[in-house]
């Protein structure tokens, strides 16, 4: 019940609290259908997962680049840059196309080879092997997708850890 002389906000609160009380039993049955747990949110992602995500993102860009080249198009993802106008001092955000270098090349035998890069370092794909050889450019996208799956499943974890350690040791000279 709402009295007209009272403030409208109070009247609205009274109506919603009455409807809440009448439907309170229904809310509890809805919550009981969910699995409730006492979970703690992790503070930071594990470093190996960060490295996997970084390599996976780079492989995704290589797949997009290879797909675009096979269709006769170009692929250049846009990147936001802040540029300051020297005369007025105003900062403007503009989009600039980012250049991506492809990881594949044609070997001396005429076959296409893919080298997996992590930053500027070439990762070992196998014991003492640093590239994947495929017979032609048509298999390139399939090979890149296979490398991406291998990254997501953790097959490059030791190579990523070694690359991270080498990078870290460069700062402690």
Domain boundaries, the chain: 53-75+101-168
Do the Cβ atoms of 159 and 122 come closer than 8 Å? no
| Residue 121 three-state SS | strand
d(CA 82, CA 93): 4
Per residue in 91-102, pLDDT tens?
999 999 998 999
pLDDT of residue 16: 54
pLDDT of residue 29: 73
- What global pTM score does this model have? 0.69
Per residue in 32-50, pLDDT tens?
888 889 988 888 888 889 9
23-60 burial code (b ≥16 CB/10 A, e <16): eeeeeeeeeeeeeeeeeeeeeeeeeeeebbeebbebbe
Give me the residues of the chain with pLDDT under 50, please. 1, 5-6, 8
């Amino acid at each position: 019940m709402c009295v007209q002389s009272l403030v409208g906000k109070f009247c609205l609160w009274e109506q919603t609290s009455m409807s809440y009380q009448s439907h309170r039993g229904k809310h509890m049955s809805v919550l009981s259908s969910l699995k409730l747990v006492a979970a703690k949110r992790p503070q930071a992602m594990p470093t190996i997962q960060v490295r996997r995500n970084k390599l996976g993102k780079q492989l995704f860009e290589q797949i997009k680049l290879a797909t675009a080249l096979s269709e006769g198009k170009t692929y250049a993802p846009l990147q936001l840059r802040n540029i300051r106008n020297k005369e007025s001092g105003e900062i403007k955000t503009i989009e600039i196309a980012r250049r991506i270098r492809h990881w594949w090349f044609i070997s001396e035998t005429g076959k296409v080879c893919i080298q997996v890069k992590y930053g500027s370092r070439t990762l070992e794909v196998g014991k003492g092997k640093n590239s994947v050889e495929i017979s032609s450019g048509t298999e390139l996208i399939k090979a890149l997708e296979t490398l991406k799956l291998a990254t997501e499943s953790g097959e490059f974890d030791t190579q990523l850890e070694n690359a991270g350690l080498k990078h870290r040791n460069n700062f402690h000279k």
